[in-house]
Amino acid sequence: MDNSQIENTITEIRKRSGAVTAFNKDKISNAIYRALAATSKADRGVADKLANDVVNKLVEQGFTSSRSPTVEDIQDIVESTLIDSGNSDIAKAYIVYRHERRKLRDEKMKVLNLKTLDPVSKKFDLNCLRVLASRYLFRNSKSEIIESPTQMFERVAILVGIGDMLYDSQIFDKSGNNKQDIDEAKSYLEKLDAFDYKFKVGDYFFNKWHFRALINHYVTLASKGQMKISFKDLLTLLAGKKLEVYADKITEYFQMMTAQDFLPNSPTMMNAGGRLGQLSACFVLGMNDGMEEIMKSTSDAALIFKSGGGVGINYSDLREEGDIVASTSGVASGPVSFMNIINTVTEVVKQGGKRRGANMGIIEAWHPDVEKFITNKTEAGVLENFNISVGIWEDFWHALVNTTDGNYVLRSPRDKKPVKEINAHQLIDLIALSAWKSAEPGLIFFDQINKYNVFAKARQAPLRATNPCGEQSLYPYESCNLGSINLVNLAKRQADGSYEFDWQGYEEIIRKTTRFLDNIIDVNNYPVPEINVASKESRRIGLGVMGVADLLYRLKIPYNSKEGYELQSKLSEALTYYSMEESVALANARGEFPLCAKTEYPEGKIPVSGYYEKPKDSHSYEWDPLIEKIQKHGIRNVLTTTVAPTGTLSMIADCSNGMEPAFALVFEKRVTVGRFFYTNKILEEALKEEGLYSDEILEKIADNYGSLKGIEEIPQWMQDVFVTAMDIHWADHLMAQGVWQDWIGNAIAKTINMPYDVTVEDVKSAYLLAHEIGLKGMTVYRDGSRHKQVLHMTNENATKTFDVSPSDYMTEYVTTKITNPYIKSQVNAALALKVHDEEIKLEPPKIEEVSEDRLCPTCKNNLVFVEGCSICIECGYSGCTSG
């Protein structure tokens, strides 16, 4: 029977849910092909022939266009067809495949509390769904999940689409010459329940929280005179289906997320279309030296934690411990004591019922309490809800690298008078020792952050604080919305089986996601009024990436090679170039950010170091015409790009974290029946293509610290391409962060991984090199350095039988680019190759050493340390707020 006869005979099938869908013979062929592949007989021609036989049998059994077969009918006939055709081994593989699919279906339904699987649940793998279930899906008062993943992504997409809708030419007028009754619009906030699911565009209904966002967005624009019509007329347009075109926008945003091509930061997915409605991951608060101001900041921090955000605070304006308080004739207790208050508040206020908040605590190097601050967290149990960093300015750096004696003056925050003199070398040694011991503090280079800070002129102050993971510098009360593009999905398979990067697709998604994040600013329900004002004054967004390591695996390019660095540099440059270009287009249509005219943008300056510091002939894009466009039209967002931690987001997107290398290619999970291995999917494909895939080889990789290095059976090209965090020398971790930082407007979340046997001098040299490369901040993580080790591996037999050295690219950089004699001598000494004749045997902590606070609070599995945060590789819990 030919295909046209088949299609005329059987047109539909009945699914398990009772729904009817179009019959598609290709689905039968694909299922048989997977069974063939399982028996190493993958043959598309054989699969197609057997699929034809199945359809003929269906027709023989009386199935027609009026009597549709069920999914089970088809699967039963597939089994009998395979057996009748003499393919009993394939039939067995198909039966096993069918059984495994049923088990997986049942497990997914159990995890999601669903009776039938929705389209997203069918597509996403079980681990992705576990993460969604544990943190993102709405629950009722009994903590039962009450929405499907499809519904979750729809509520996010609808809210973002509302952001676009009010800029429609029927409604919006950029000139600001319109007067509307704002109180009339605000009156609808009192009757949200009455408008729950009353309005829609296309098939997308607005719930009452979507409706609230519509009202608030309207009020903001009407307050600036930009609404041409009354709020009632807007509702009339909606009811009259005059805005249906925005259903396509909503679908576009929905598909971008469900295709795992892009995800916004966690608070957006948790809260969009919900009561909290708070969508930002990053916040910074001021902390001025007065009890009222301190308590106001503490109260604001609590509201931010409650709404799902994390807070960065610079405590340097608080007077030092022991200083006289004039109003009471008492003695100041110092910044660290006030950090303890915020730490307690964080503990008490659980974010949106999901997790505790995260904090960044900063003290600048000139503060008299800086030494106490540095050593504070080396003790277990102190400030556990904080990341801490020391802020560095030009004066400290000058004392460290350009003076012979290294003398440096600590000053009172109260009047800036000298309090005491210390040695800059001793202070950096103390920081390095503490980071060597406990992975803290990090360093924030405020001189680098402010070097191209075009916004400082408008704020009449430099940037002095970052969000909890350090990648987002902000002024007090600013917030930032982050989102990450999954780069591995842009690797497109060619006819010869190799992969190429889709640069055109990259440009398209950068433009769409820039608009997505800009819309988030308008539909966000900010936790504090001052944050609403400051966030809309700058309209700062942070578009970033994830899946970098997986992309390089796909393209067969080593992460720490010249080719790897050049590709990463171009990816970074494209990200900022196209997002800024799209931001200019948005400014042209919607208006520049309110403070744009007061910044350095009109002077032709941009916040991108690569434009100034990389030779023009090495630029991949034409920046000068873009700068001219900014001068003509303004720009919608003060900064547009940030590479954030994507711990849980990358689990949902099923890709590697941020721009980090993979921390392990294979790692072990012990279950009651024995050992089970998680394997990087791209490595798994490569091992199968090479005929190497087996439990034995996976065990070898897991026992080799998750690395391929030095395993005889693994071809050299694979050892070179599939590098992990521990295969890459710490100097190359810095270089990778640096090539991204050249072009990123904000900063990068990256952990500089170091092996357990590095010295304190190595850590100090890493600081010197980081500043020289142009990083805005850095976090060092020496394997085994935390008081209660966050395990990289769960296998206590893991050994590392290889040593790593800096890449030629890194060595050449040090040789040719570093000119300061002190920095050059320190870095050269640290990078001198260490020859190891004997095998290096690492002794990771035994599993029983892992205390409760280093286990996942959700599922009690071991946490791992990635991008400056602890994350759970089992359920997706993250200690950071952005991902």
State how far the Cα of 731 lies from the Cα of 743, in Å rounded to an integer.
19
> 490-516 burial by CB neighbour count: b if 16+ within 10 A, else e?
bbeeeeeeebebeeeebbebbbbbbbb
- The residues pairing with 662 across neighbouring beta strands, listed in sequence order, are 724
In 524-646, which ranges are continuous DSSP H helix?
529-538, 548-555, 562-590, 609-613, 623-633
Task: Tell me how far apart the alpha carbons of residues 451 and 133 are, in angstroms, rounded to a whole number.
Answer: 43
Alpha carbons 94 and 74: distance in angstroms, whole number: 13
Q: Are strands 491-493 and 499-501 parallel, antiparallel or unpaired?
A: antiparallel
Of these residues, 87, 265, 467, 746, which one is catalytic? 467
Q: Annotated catalytic, 753? A: no
Give, in order, the Cα–Cα distances in Å from 430 to each of 142, 404, 422, 767, 809: 50, 19, 12, 12, 30
Q: Two tokens at 443?
A: 């360093």
The Cα–Cα gap between 555 and 615 comes to 27
Is 12 designated active site? Answer: no
Distance between CA atoms of residues 62 and 321, nearest Å: 88
Q: For residue 641, how many C-alpha atoms fall within 13 Å in the half-sphere facing its CB? A: 30
In 371-513, DSSP assigns E strands to 386-392, 407-411, 418-423, 442-445, 479-486, 491-493, 499-501
Amino acid identity, residue 156? V
Per annotation, catalytic residue among 87, 265, 450, 469: 469
Residue 508 tokens read as: 């398209």
**Dihedrals phi, psi of 667, to nearest 5 degrees:** -140, 155
Residue type, 821: P
User: What is the rounded distance in angstroms from the CA atom of residue 53 to the CA atom of residue 59?
Assistant: 10
Q: Is 839 a catalytic residue?
A: no
Point out the catalytic residue in the list 147, 364, 440, 471.
Answer: 471
Report yes or no: 658 and 484 within 8 Å, Cβ to Cβ.
Answer: yes
β-strand partners of 24: none
Interacting residues of 501 by C-beta distance below 8 A, sequence separation 6+ = 490, 491, 492, 551, 555, 567
For the chain, the distance separating the N- and C-terminal CA atoms, rounded to the nearest angstrom, is 53
CB 774 within 8 A of CB 741: yes
- Contact between 77 and 61 under an 8 Å Cβ cutoff? The reply is yes
CA-CA distance, 479 to 255, in Å (whole number)? 27
C-alpha radius of gyration, the chain, whole number: 29
Q: Which residues are annotated as catalytic?
A: 467, 469, 471
